[in-house]
Structures are given as C-alpha cells and as structure tokens.
Amino acid sequence: MRNKMITGAIIAAVLLSGMVLFWYFTPSEISIVNIDAPKEIAIGQLDELRINLQNNASEDVNVTINVKNAFVDEKGESLKGFTILAYGNLSNMSNYKSLNAVDRPQKEVLLKPGSNIILVSIGYQVPGAQKVEVEVYQQGKFADSRIIELNVLKPTIEIFLEKYKSTNGTNEIHSVYGYLRLRGKGYAPGVAVNISVIDEETNKTVKTVTRGYSLHSEEDIPYSSQPLVIWQNRIFTYDPVTGAKIDTQTDTYSPIVVIELAKDESSTEKYARSPVVVKGKMGDRYKVVVTATWVDQFVSSEMKIPSSLATYKLPYPYGRKVQK
C-alpha cells in the first residue's frame, strides 16, 4: 500500500513537472512586432517609444511590461522605473487609455486580440548612444524582448562679446556686453560663466565674478542666444474706461563689464546694473576675459579695453530695452 502511494506521488510529481515545463516552453502568443523610436533625441528632451505588441490569442491578455534604461540622469546613471503614457488596440484608436505618470519597475497592461500600441516616455541628461530594452512577460513567463539604440545629441555652448564706447564728461566709458549661445537642440543646465577684468600692465585680475545659467534651445530654432545680464521690470496699468489690466514687461540688456577711464577724477556713477565695474585712469589698459564651462565643454572670449580697433557701436547706449 505504501509503495503504491509513493509510486502515485512520483507519477503525480512527474506529470505536474511535465505540465509546468510544457507551459513554460510553449511559445507565447504575445510578441513584440517592432519599436518605433526617434533616431536622435536632445539632452533634456522628453520623447517617446512606440511599442507594437501582437496578441495572437482570441481573448484579452494581461501582460507585464519592463523597459530598461528609459531615463538616464546627469551622472549617466539609469533610473529605475518608466512611464507608460498610453496604450490601446490599433483596431479602435479611440479606446486608448492614458495613464498617470507613476514610475514603477514593471507595469501591467491589458492587450486586446490583434495589434496593440504602448507609448512609453524616455529622456536622457547625457549625450551619446543609449540602449533601451523592452521585456514582456505573460503570467510571470517571459514572452519576448527587443533592444533598440538611439543617439542623444549634445548641443554646444558659445560666448560672444560686444563693446560700446561713450563719454561722461571728460571720462571714457567702455561697456562690454556678453551673450551665451546654445547651438543645437537640447538643454544645458548649470553653465558656469566667469567674467574677469585683468590689468594688462601687471597681469593681475582686478575683478572677477562667476554666474550660473541654464539654456534651452527649442526644436524649431537652430540656436538660442541669451544675454548674460538681463534686468526685468514689470508694470501693471488699468484702462480707465473698461478697467482692463495691462501688463507691460521691459527687459533691459545690460553690460557685463563697465570700465571707466578718468582723465582727472573718477565719477560717482555706480553702474549698478553691471556685475563688474572697474574705474581707472586714462592710459590704463585692461583685458576682459569671459569663460563658460558646461560638462566637458570650455569656451572663452576676450576683449581689450581700450581697443586699437574701431569700437562696435550698439544702437542703444548702456542697455538694450525690449518691451513685451
């Protein structure tokens, strides 16, 4: 009797193991048809993967999706989790379901029979090639996977300087304007800009200041240029007849450096709109050096004051005003 029980248990275990193995190695009815992805994506730009899944079953099937390397931070580390933006069946696009942006390592979605689309958000803070792997599981069993590679573009930073010369009584006023440009699509956070004035006779730094900037270049604009010093003034007025509120914003683009060369005594003008102000005497010679550093990029531009070259005349003295 005991031997029969043992034999029966062994047979049951073998049958159960066989069923499990048969289930595990039976080809899944779920497969990844293709993944549409942008060939290029800019740093800091959110984009999406379009995952096409085929459900060959005659009924709805719940599957678990895992997307690896969907997001990478500025340190180059892949973040856990991803965001499904929407999913649905191609035969009825109106039934697309939009999900809340909740990041989890894996997510379950319901596939209708036929072709299904899943939209997944992606974004990267470092340039270069990035591999994204999509895995699909059905009831815990691996169904299919696919790896794609996309290129994350890296914009470049540039520095431009302009000068303006004027007089204040018998004193010469040399103003230097600076512009930071991002060439190419993308986002450049944490650009460190150093502005220094050097005495050319002693080669010593007279004044220096470091400021931080963030640049963003829109998709339809080849480059984005930003003045290094902007003062904003906002005025609210009201229409006396209708009471309508009028919002007027004035942006003043000011010099990054003002150098006053006095014939006799320096003026009492503070030039408060500029971060670097130097007051010297006629005959003094200075060099304005501006550098910008971002990730592994370093650019610089310099200008001598006074210059033997003809001074570029700006259309507006000491500050450019733009009304919005």
Confidence of residue 321 (pLDDT cuts 50, 70, 90): very low
Question: Could you tell me the domains of the chain?
Answer: 27-153 (2.60.40.10), 156-323 (2.60.40.10)
Q: Bigger pLDDT: 75 or 132?
A: 132
pLDDT in tens, 8-55: 556 655 555 544 444 444 557 889 999 998 888 888 788 899 999 999
pLDDT in tens, 54-94: 999 889 999 989 999 999 988 888 888 778 777 777 555 44
Q: Which two tokens stand for residue 138?
A: 């059905």
| Contact partners, residue 286, CB within 8 Å, separation at least 6 | 197, 198, 199, 200, 206, 259, 278, 280, 304, 305
Q: Quote the CA–CA distance of 191 and 78 in Å, as a whole number.
A: 23
Helix (H, G, I), strand (E, B) or coil at 94: helix
Whether residue 69 contacts residue 129, with contact meaning beta carbons closer than 8 Å, is answered with no
